[in-house]
A and B are shown apart, each in its own frame.
Chain A
């Protein structure tokens, strides 16, 4: 796994929108804070640009991201927002320059496509972390974990015990992201290989029955067979059908993984909500779950 160099003051972070449209004003706080951390910021053409739903045509979004990937003077790329759109571009991106000059790629949600592809095809670590909107929130705790991650400071994350947790301890590469996208990538060249890995999952606005269906897809395609550990983040604004599904999201997840023995923790701070700590996707972590203490630390 290629680990891009950590950043130092004076380095440049590029901001791009490879998926949905992001109004330019929503990047103000983000740019201000990155600058206050001592970084320079380069704004891509797709920021504030709109083509219907997207932040540009496929060609525009592709060109902007490709330019950022190839630019030797940029040390990290922060994706402004997710939405939808990377699946349309991923096979057209060229990672040759990135392999020569690795850099951190930052984002979550639709950016899961990029993380998974980098892990599987480029074998490069990336940062599952807050995007532009998070910099305008009251609680900036998660945003500061991104700063620490970029500067190469190792972090230990914990969360409260949960009655559905399953004890255990495992060291393995940390991979994952948005459940809908991880399911969507199954069968494609960007699908995650999960043997021995610690998998984290979060999602937003999904029906409970659909979460069940996606977990069954993961199960039936072998994702859980040799998994090292499972971290369940937030399933924000989940929806139920008119006739209730009969189980909550956490109950659905517990049911689907009860036949395995890997450690599982719920309510980890990775989500579309405020709690969304920076996770180095693809790098080894130690994941430990016991009745009283849950921890995830870089190995």
Chain B
């Protein structure tokens, strides 16, 4: 709803930015922010306008894949801009990487901005501030405590990734993610363990885990409970490990990306260094972008 973006607008003003609100904000066509045509037109206008330097998606949900093939991304080649969001917005990150070669920002959306910042935990405010730092070109570096299930190592590569379910449903389409030689991150929300396992099978069987520089596993939150009579019997760590144990690239668990308070801004398509060490994992952007 329109009033829901007010806190984000206030926040962006405080950062010294001006805000143009798209026509689809507050618009409703059943589950969507407007009809396909309305949403495509709104996004296209944001792409086309030279005076708009970044597009912040208000929320994910479902619908990006219904308009992706109708959008003309060619203006972005001349006038690139940051496209910001995650979850369903993974469709854009993946498609932009495949077709425009433009970096984009995997980060919180307007619904992640507080009405009253004093009610937000420091970790949420810090996560929001990473968007500011990313947008203003400050170099990004994130450190998370080591998980005992990590596989150690140090690599450099282009960072790419997003929501696992979206990545699976883009498989073999013209928005398919190319993970070869990448630092690849995944996260998801509200899936059952068997379904997460099946999606990792898809990643493996479609070759997406074979030639990575590294794998970053974010949060898998609100996992749908198993039938108590038939618990799945494997944790996220087990599921991932079974699919990557035959390779030797570093694997970092518990990274601060996902449907959670600590969801930091990640520049998709930009080279990073990842050090998975004994004490901590550190992801560092190594090129201005």
Contact = CB atoms under 8 A, between A and B. Distances in A.
A54 interface: yes
Contact of B226 (A53, A190, A243): A53
Contact of A188 (B175, B205, B230, B232): B205
Given A245-B31, A246-B30, A220 B230 contact: no
A157 interface: no
B230 A52 contact: yes
Given A221-B171, A221-B173, A241-B31, A184 B202 contact: yes
Q: Chain B, interface size: which category?
A: 20 to 34
Contact of A52 (B32, B168, B170, B233): B233
Interface string A216-234: 1100111000000000000
A88 interface: yes
B121 interface: no
A278 B170 CA distance: 32
A31 to B, nearest CB: 23
Interface string A42-60: 0000000011111000000
A183 interface: yes
Contacts of A53: 194, 226-227, 230-233
Max chain A Cβ within 10 angstroms of own Cβ: one of B197, B205, B226: B205
Contact of A191 (B172, B176, B226): B172
Nearest to A51: B233
A95 interface: no
Contacts of B62: 209-210, 212-213
Nearest to A189: B205
Contacts of A87: 198, 201-202, 205
Given A243-B31, A245-B30, A187 B202 contact: yes
A21 interface: yes
B233 A54 contact: yes
A84 B230 contact: no
A21 B172 contact: no
Contacts of A190: 205
B75 to A, nearest CB: 23
A163 interface: no
Contacts of A244: 30-31
A185 B32 CA distance: 28
B206 interface: yes
A183 B169 contact: yes
Contacts of B169: 183, 213-214, 216-217
Interface string B160-194: 00000000111111111000000000000000001
A133 interface: no
Contacts of A184: 168, 198-199, 201-202
A247 B32 CA distance: 12
Contact of A186 (B69, B171, B198): B171
B29 to A, nearest CB: 7
Nearest to B176: A187
Contacts of B176: 187
B50 interface: no
B244 interface: no
B65 interface: yes
Contacts of A50: 230
Given A184-B168, A214-B169, 4 more contacts: A187-B176, A190-B205, A221-B171, A221-B172
The 8 closest A-B pairs by CB, nearest first: A52-B233, A246-B30, A187-B171, A187-B206, A220-B173, A188-B205, A187-B172, A87-B201
Interface of A: 20-21, 50-54, 83-84, 87-88, 90-91, 183-191, 209-210, 212-214, 216-217, 220-222, 241, 243-247
29 contacts: A21-B230, A50-B230, A52-B230, A52-B233, A53-B194, A53-B226, A53-B227, A53-B233, A54-B233, A87-B201, A87-B202, A183-B169, A186-B172, A186-B206, A187-B171, A187-B202, A188-B206, A213-B62, A216-B65, A216-B169, A217-B65, A217-B170, A220-B69, A220-B170, A222-B172, A244-B31, A245-B30, A246-B30, A247-B30
